[in-house]
Amino acid sequence: MLFLRGFIYLVLISVVAQLISIEGYQHLSAAQYNEHSVTEHLQDFMSFMSCMLFLFVSRRSPVLKIASTLLAALMAMMFVRESDSLLDHYVFDGAWQSVVLLILLCVVIFLWGQFRAIYPSIKEYAKHPSFGTFLAGFVTILGFSRLMGRGSFWEAVMGDAYMRVVKNIVEEGIETLGYTLIFISAVELALAYRRKLHQ
């Protein structure tokens, strides 16, 4: 089972890489890698599914209830942020910020009177193997993808041949990898607690 899971995750990462390259193969130098690309839809899917899996764990594990609820809320906020163009177009400009604030308010209400239980719950999650994978994905999204996606870096490297799409592919591709790692961590956590229920 261990090797099978590893193989499944390898296939998943390979499929994600192939899906990221589809727009490039289809549109060549006209590819944009914007909010309407397959890459962005992958990020939406991964963040939404991760949110649902963390919510599943929060309902099954009293020890991780707070930590997994916080993780679910974080992924919900990231999902909303990734969907900002749709909200701007169909609701109003800057709607994503209002939705994120609403999620934050719900989290504060949920945690009211339980603030001292936050650290022990997070500490318990940190003991789980999926914590490392989650952290790797989170740092990849918020740190590495942003640093590798700096326009100044790509302008310096490419000079007069600078193409914004190359910067976009690198930044969005790395970001999608980060979301995939978080999704894998959420799957691992959900599987672990599903096994506990059957024991």
Residue 45 lies in a domain: yes
Residue 182 lies in a domain: yes
Q: Supply the range of the domain harboring residue 158.
A: 35-198
- Residue 15: HSE in the Cβ half-sphere, 13 Å Cα cutoff: 8
Burial category of 49 from C-beta neighbours within 10 Å (exposed 0-12, middle 13-18, buried 19 and up): middle
Residue 85 lies in a domain: yes
Other Cβ atoms less than 10 A from the Cβ of 8: the count is 12
CA gap 15, 112 in Å, rounded: 42
With the CA atoms of 24, 29, 35 and 41 taken in that order, what torsion angle do they form, in degrees rounded to the nearest 10? -10
Mean pLDDT of the chain: 86
Residue 14 lies in a domain: no
Output the DSSP codes for 1-20: -HHHHHHHHHHHHHHHHHHH
Domains in the chain, number: 1
Taking only the tens place, the pLDDT of each residue in 66-125 is 999 999 999 999 998 887 777 666 666 777 788 889 999 999 998 888 888 889 999 999
Residue 139 lies in a domain: yes
Taking only the tens place, the pLDDT of each residue in 131-167 is 999 999 999 999 999 999 888 888 888 888 888 888 8
